[in-house]
Chain A
Amino acid sequence: MRPFVYERATDVADALDRAGDGAVFLAGGTNLVDHLRLGVRSAERLVDITRIGLDEVEELPGGGLRVGALVRNSDLAAHPALRRGFPVVAQALLAGASGQLRNMATTGGNLLQRTRCVYFQDVTMPCTKRDPGSGCSALEGYAAGNAIFETSPRCMAVHPSDLCVALVALDAVVRTTGPAGDREIPMTELYRRAEDGPETDTHLVPGELITHVDLPPLAPGTRSAYRKVRERASYAFALVSVAAALDVVDGRVRDARLGFGGVCHRPFRARRAEEALVGGPADAAAFAAAIDAELAHARPGRDNAAKVPILRNTALAVLAGLADEGARS
């Protein structure tokens, strides 16, 4: 590992003061420490932000939650208000990584983790995300994990997070502070498309710090769930994943939220499917038509065409499960 200077911020203002000049914020470090070790990235200075607060979950009036950026993944997954109101988020958290990593990893850090594309992590191979302008090795190489939505020859990588798929589906809002002041950024607008330039994952500016993630309340009676499909039963990144929330009243869909993971450069919000679902019957035929409306825009390649039927089956199973759950209550 290349040497770096280690600093510790005492509060948010101090963290911002220490940003710049080759500084990188260090939270749990579960992804960053690996990258420093692999040489995927280097840093002049690490600014440890784990002792600046921002480590609480606050219940907002109306049923929403404000999650501090430094709340650990394991603490958030175990939080009673989250498990009660947002099971899709708790399930997504527990689908990710392992117990040890969830004990270290933070909410904000999860949002900023980098792709696990094998070429991004292999410093001997060209990768424009790691080394801008060097091209995409995944285009003609090992391509089974590649994106199928919003694809671009500039970068075929997919976003690796489980949590973020749930957060985009729920219209979570990321609160930040930085050199230009405070901002609120919808999760659906935080990430860049591959065609926008894959060198940078998000629209955050240098020195900007995530302070909280807000979860707006879901309508009472809404059911939500997360399902992840991988090449083995546990401890792997998603081949595909589905985050869904469904509000069904008298057999008709009043509200539907759908996020897909493992299929796009950013956590993907399936708005075409949502539009097709809302107002329609909560039955298998309507669900299939809605998912197919979204999948019509998928652009699988030579090696990852299997993602399309796997995603279709997974999404339909999740929606059917939520509709059943609602009908039984």
Chain B
Amino acid sequence: MTRINVKVDGVDHTDEVEPRMLLVHYLREQVGRTGTVVGCDTSNCGACTVHLDGRSVKSCNVLAVQADGHEVTTIEGIADGDRLHAMQQAFHDCHALQCGYCTPGMIMQSIDLLNDNPNPSEDEIRHGLEGNLCRCTGYHNIVKAVQQAAGAGVGGGGGR
């Protein structure tokens, strides 16, 4: 077992983990952050996307020990109390989901995308979400939601 210190959604956690434990399993099973889901478990679908020190990663592709000393933000850590993050609100407003399973990862990657490029074109949004698969193929409204969030200033831009 290896002792790790990870700040998850603003709260410090110290835990003993097996080195082979994936970050997504640590978040769900040890920290209880089940908002982050396991989709494909093969680092393809992006449903498990979280932020590691503010940048998106696939948490099924990272070992919990790699996050030691770092900060993890999950879908459960971006709202301000009852007030949704602007990206969550945009997904809600645009009905950017069908079954909802890919949504946590889509939202976390969309925030990363706008942090990199605050005013993306539609094509840039689609490419920026290339590592997130929606099995319902509901991409159209997801793109609209990211456009709305960009317009609302997520990532520091003013929209196009």
Contacts and interface: CB of A to CB of B under 8 A. Distances in A.
A, B bound: yes
Interface of A: 1-6, 26, 29-30, 33-34, 36-38, 46, 48, 50, 74, 78, 97-101, 103-104, 234-235
A98 B2 contact: no
Nearest to A78: B116
B102 interface: no
B114 to A, nearest CB: 11
B38 interface: no
A99 B19 contact: no
A46 B113 CA distance: 31
A98 B113 CA distance: 11
A74 B128 CA distance: 12
Contacts of B126: 234
A50 B66 contact: yes
Contact of B56 (A50, A99, A234): A99
Contacts of A6: 2, 19, 63, 65
B131 A100 contact: yes
A1 B20 contact: yes
Interface string B88-114: 000000000000000000000100110
Given A5-B19, A29-B61, A103-B56, 17 more contacts: A2-B20, A6-B63, A29-B62, A29-B63, A29-B66, A30-B43, A33-B63, A38-B42, A50-B66, A97-B131, A98-B130, A99-B128, A100-B49, A100-B57, A100-B112, A100-B131, A104-B58
Nearest to B46: A100
B56 A100 contact: yes
B7 interface: no
A33 B42 CA distance: 10
A99 B2 CA distance: 29
Contact of B19 (A37, A46, A97, A235): A46
A100 B109 contact: yes
Nearest to A38: B42
Interface in B44-61: 46, 49, 52, 55-58, 61
A264 to B, nearest CB: 25
Contacts of B61: 29-30, 33-34, 100-101, 104
Interface string B28-41: 00000000000001
Given A3-B20, A6-B2, A103 B131 contact: no
B103 to A, nearest CB: 16
Given A36-B20, A74-B55, A48 B130 contact: no
Given A29-B66, A48-B65, A103 B2 contact: no
Contacts of A34: 42-43, 61
A42 to B, nearest CB: 11
Contacts of B113: 99
B55 A3 contact: no
In this complex, the member of A1, A37, A103 whose beta carbon has the largest number of chain B beta carbons within 10 angstroms is: A103
B57 A103 contact: yes
B18 interface: yes
B140 interface: no
Nearest to A33: B61
Given A99-B56, A104-B57, A235 B42 contact: no
Contacts of A78: 116
Contacts of A101: 43, 58, 61, 131
A6 B20 CA distance: 9
B127 interface: yes
A81 to B, nearest CB: 18
